[in-house]
């Protein structure tokens, strides 16, 4: 996956420009999602929204490189505007999904309420999940200048090693579905954290169902950044 990080001007989180042209919930909540440890000088907010309250080890080790930078200045404002529009579109298409605007990214969390869910010990993309993912694919095609990170999780049922593999299979299942339905593999990256990053109480059935989740982070790619810099006169 072609990363945008080498071309980013890494800024501290306080320099992020947020656009307020829309009343979309994901835009309003952008400053409230700064959970988890900071990777480098930026990206901690995105990381927290993806994996939960604690930044732990897991997956393929590439997560920090994927989300490690933020574009500042006038170009950052232009990118923020474009990402706000995409976030609003996703909220309109998939009302049950949790959509957050964080840093330069959009973070989408799917669970049983949004139509993308996994039964215990399963990683298949069922018909309800397909219907929701098809709507998301439509947005990806409408806004092609982005890279996409898919992150898989499990509840605490089963061994930790088994769940790490299960979360990998869930993330790969979603990635494969996206690529099999018109989204270029070059835009996609996959990560997984097993049971290590619960966002809900694993002692209850409802909490475990919500922890069997997949997050999708949508980030500006090189083309979007270069276009924004040209518009900004950089």
In the prediction, which pLDDT does 40 show? 36
| Token pair 């320099």: residue | 15
The 10s digit of each residue's pLDDT in 151-210 is: 999 999 999 999 999 999 999 999 999 999 999 999 999 999 999 988 889 999 999 999
In the prediction, which pLDDT does 175 show? 96
The 10s digit of each residue's pLDDT in 91-141 is: 999 998 999 988 888 999 888 888 888 999 999 999 999 999 999 999 999
Q: What are the extents of the domains in the chain?
A: 5-232
Helices (H), 94-221: 127-142, 160-179, 205-211
Compute the distance between CA of residue 28 and CA of residue 162 in angstroms, rounded to an integer. Answer: 38
In the prediction, which pLDDT does 41 show? 37
Give the model's confidence band at 234: pLDDT under 50 very low, under 70 low, under 90 confident, else very high.
Answer: low
Is the per-residue pLDDT at 149 higher than 60?
A: yes
Compute the distance between CA of residue 7 and CA of residue 2 in angstroms, rounded to an integer. Answer: 11
In the prediction, which pLDDT does 167 show? 95
Query: What's the order of all strands across the beta sheet hosting 146-152?
Result: 98-102, 105-110, 214-220, 146-152, 188-192
- Please answer whether residues 215 and 173 qualify as being in contact, where contact means their C-beta atoms are separated by less than 8 angstroms: no
Give the model's confidence band at 148: pLDDT under 50 very low, under 70 low, under 90 confident, else very high.
Answer: very high
DSSP sequence for 192-228: E-TTSS-SS-TTSHHHHHHHS-EEEEEEE-HHHHHHH
Q: What fold characterizes domain 5-232?
A: 60s Ribosomal Protein L30; Chain: A; (3.30.1330)
In the prediction, which pLDDT does 146 show? 92
Is the per-residue pLDDT at 65 higher than 70?
A: no
Q: How many CB atoms lie within 10 A of CB 34?
A: 16
The 10s digit of each residue's pLDDT in 208-224 is: 999 999 999 999 988 88
Average pLDDT on 46-62 reads: 59
0.85 exceeded by pTM:
no
């Amino acid at each position: 996956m072609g990363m945008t990080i080498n071309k980013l001007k890494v800024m501290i989180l306080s320099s992020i420009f947020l656009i307020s042209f829309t009343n979309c919930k994901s835009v309003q909540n952008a400053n409230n999602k700064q959970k988890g440890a900071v990777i480098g000088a930026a990206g901690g907010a995105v990381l927290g929204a993806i994996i939960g309250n604690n930044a732990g080890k897991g997956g393929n080790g590439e997560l920090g490189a994927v989300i490690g930078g933020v574009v500042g200045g006038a170009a950052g404002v232009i990118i923020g505007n474009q990402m706000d529009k995409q976030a609003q579109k996703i909220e309109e298409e998939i009302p049950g999904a949790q959509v957050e605007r964080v840093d330069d990214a959009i973070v989408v969390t799917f669970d049983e309420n949004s139509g993308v869910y996994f039964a215990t010990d399963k990683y298949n993309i069922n018909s309800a999940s397909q219907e929701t993912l098809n709507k998301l694919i439509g947005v990806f095609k409408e806004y092609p200048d982005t890279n996409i990170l898919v992150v898989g999780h499990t509840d605490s049922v089963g061994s930790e090693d088994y769940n790490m593999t299960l979360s990998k299979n869930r993330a790969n299942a979603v990635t494969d579905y996206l690529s099999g339905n018109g989204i270029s593999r070059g835009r996609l990256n996959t990560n997984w954290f097993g049971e290590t990053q619960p966002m809900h109480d694993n002692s209850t059935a409802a909490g475990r169902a919500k922890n069997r989740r997949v997050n999708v982070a949508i980030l500006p790619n090189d083309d979007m950044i270069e276009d924004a810099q040209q518009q900004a006169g950089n």
